A and B are shown apart, each in its own frame.
Chain A
Amino acid sequence: MNRRKIIEERLFKLLAGIATYSLIAILAFIILVIFVKGFNALTFDMIIKTPKGGFYYGGEGGVLNAIIGSLYIAFGATLIAAIIGIPAALYINVHLIKKKRTQNTIRFLLDALWGIPSIVYGAFGFTLMLFLGMNASLLAGIITVALLITPIMVRTFDEVLSTIPIGLHEATLALGSTKTEMALKVLFKQGFSGFITAILLAFGRGIGDAASVLFTAGYTDLIPVNLDEPAATLPLAIFFQLGSPIPEVRERAFASATILTFIILAISLGARFLSKQYSKSNLK
């Protein structure tokens, strides 16, 4: 009997270990393939130059237009999503704490919004754009991506806020806090790591999404200087270059993908560092 249990234990540990490490291996493999395939094209020019004439036929230039465009759109959309998302998540956890049914309905609807494919947001953004008489522009891209990532932001932050023990609410209120003071001075701080995760997920989704910006932000070889100008994005740069019959251009697609991956990685690391710095005094 004991022998059977020992074998069972070892077998399960082995299987679980394989599952876990194979995930990491897959991630490493993806990054490696992209990096290797794009290595030759990964020149300094790629990140400091905009496309010159004939770039899409293997000519000179880089994807600075798409890097800047993507950062503009992702930062802009994350900012809008945070402005809407933080109060929303706090409201769900402070003012709706007694209304479990409303809370659950809102969470369900946000989850549904999270699940809608981004092309649908793209189509919606496009319709909205036409309705408002806008052209494909940075602003339209930012608004559409903000719509896409706000539910992600709210639900991620909300998940962490909802795990804060009711005792901390009670302690804070008992000291004479209003609900607003409790939300802003205590719960926000206690849920700060969740807030960072929310920003990260939203930003990552926003910078990596192609379908929502396809019709709304447009594409240009220039760096946008105004909100009403079209903006290029990295996912679309990858998309266009990958479809090229010319091998050099396809290599550049992988180089662009490497750049995108590194941007996301850098932002993740920065945010984790921040989150650690600011949550030292949090209740464990």
Chain B
Amino acid sequence: MNSYQTLNNLVLENNVQIPEPESILTVKNLNVYVHQHHILKDINLTIPKNKITVLLGPSGCGKTTLLKCMNKLTDLHKELKVTGNIFIEGDDILHTQTYLPELRQKMGLLSQRPFPLPMSIYKNVAYGLKLKGIRDKKLIDYSVEKNLSEVGLWNEVKDRLHSPATSLSIGQQQRLCLARGLAVKPRIILADEPTSALDPISSKIIENLFKDLKKHYTIILVTHVLRQAVRIADHVVFMYNGEIIEQGSPNELFKNPKTQKLKEYLTDGN
């Protein structure tokens, strides 16, 4: 049993939230229903800080829903009924009094395909800063350059910062979306199959970015691509049919799968 599972059990037994320096986000007894369907079943999970946690599993197993619960985007879907707790830095976001837009800024989102805002490259990155009330042009300029450099896009776009974001290639757009998210200084990056629409080269760039970014951020990555999980995961959570089947370090999980379902997934996935 690894430390995360131990922590989970502790949380379960004592029914309290334990301030654990290593963890940044804790999911407790999370259940999600759509009408009569129970799509997430008793999810208990602790996300380690400054690591890449991969939510792995076949399509339709509830990975994306779990990710969306984490910044309450489930609000956009009426049919979803969510119960349980999700603690981020001690604050239960499902029952919090904190102002939701502020809370969401703690988490950057990267979706399956890039959704650049309908404005220029520069304004895409500046958007979140302006929401925060930053008006200082120099500061915004600095942040735009810094964040675009961080995702390796600065040299490619520095001469056309005021062109529409949609003029970029889809791989560049995805990196722009990442830079846009980083500009608001989140703690966590929620990435929902961020490479599924990208070609192998762009995918690799994103994967390498994640490896660098984990120094400063915690990354939660949803994927069904086994190889991707093997390449970049520090902690793997295998989900199947709305349940967490197994979790642990990639070494443990991929070399010695304990459950039949993971064994099957590993065989079929390869």
Contact = CB atoms under 8 A, between A and B. Distances in A.
A167 B73 CA distance: 10
Contacts of A178: 101
A174 B76 contact: no
A186 B131 contact: no
Counting chain A CB atoms within 10 Å of each CB, which of B102, B115, B163, B190 scores highest? B115
A181 interface: yes
Contacts of A280: 164
Contact of B105 (A97, A175, A186, A192): A175
B105 A169 contact: no
B165 interface: yes
B196 to A, nearest CB: 13
Interface of B is mostly: mixed
Given A170-B76, A171-B109, A181-B131, A279 B117 contact: no
Contact of B166 (A166, A186, A284): A284
What size tier do the contact residues of chain A reach? Answer: 20 to 34
Contacts of B127: 175, 185
A246 interface: no
Nearest to A188: B118
A170 B113 CA distance: 12
Given A281-B164, A282-B118, A175 B128 contact: yes
B184 A283 contact: no
A100 B78 contact: yes
A281 B113 CA distance: 17
B111 A170 contact: yes
Interface in A92-119: 97-100
A233 interface: no
B120 interface: yes
A177 B101 contact: yes
A279 B119 CA distance: 9
Nearest to B78: A98
Contacts, number: 87
B197 to A, nearest CB: 11
Contact of A173 (B104, B108, B118, B164): B104
Nearest to B163: A281
Interface in A266-284: 279-284
B180 interface: yes
B107 A186 contact: no
Interface in A36-71: none
A172 interface: yes
Contact of B119 (A173, A189, A284): A189
Contacts of B108: 174
A137 interface: no
B104 A283 contact: no
Nearest to A169: B76
Interface string B12-46: 00000000000000000000000000000000000
A245 interface: no
A165 interface: yes
A168 interface: yes
Contacts of A281: 118-120, 163-166
B166 A176 contact: no
Contact of A167 (B77, B115, B132, B163): B115
Contacts of A166: 76
Counting chain B CB atoms within 10 Å of each CB, which of A173, A178, A189 scores highest? A173
Given A281-B165, A281-B166, 8 more contacts: A98-B78, A170-B109, A173-B76, A175-B104, A176-B104, A177-B101, A279-B118, A283-B116
Interface of A: 97-100, 165-178, 181, 185-186, 189-190, 192, 279-284
5 contacts: A100-B78, A170-B76, A174-B71, A186-B117, A281-B119
